[in-house]
């Protein structure tokens, strides 16, 4: 994952999120922090230092509706 200093033009827009099926709202920032949050009230969780490849894997699982492997990741409670 690129650090913000590697792309100074991106510092203002340093994270991106995807809304899955209307319930799940994962996001990732330039430092590799992924936040997994359920908009229906599930407590937010996060992982730090996630690689670009892993982010793509997680988003592909979400796009396929395959939430179980995402839920099994080593999430840390809260933001």
What digits encode the pLDDT tens for the residues 22-45?
Answer: 677 788 888 889 998 887 777 899
Count of domains for the chain: 1
Average pLDDT of 53-75?
92
Instruction: Tell me, yes or no, whether 78 lies in a domain.
Output: no
Instruction: Tell me, yes or no, whether 56 lies in a domain.
Output: yes
Average pLDDT of 47-74?
92
CA distance 53 to 42: 26
Instruction: Tell me, yes or no, whether 79 lies in a domain.
Output: no
Residue 12: pLDDT over 90 = no
Instruction: Tell me, yes or no, whether 22 lies in a domain.
Output: yes
Domain that holds residue 48: 4-73
Share of the chain above pLDDT 70, in %: 71
Query: How many Cβ atoms from other residues are within 10 Å of residue 55's Cβ?
Result: 19
């Amino acid at each position: 994952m690129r650090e913000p200093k590697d792309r100074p033009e991106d510092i203002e827009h340093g994270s991106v999120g995807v809304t899955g099926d209307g319930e799940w709202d994962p996001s990732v920032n330039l430092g590799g922090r992924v936040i997994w949050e359920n908009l229906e009230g599930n407590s937010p969780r996060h992982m730090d230092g996630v690689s670009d490849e892993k982010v793509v894997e997680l988003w592909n699982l979400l796009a396929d509706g395959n939430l179980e492997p995402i839920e099994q990741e080593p999430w840390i409670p809260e933001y």
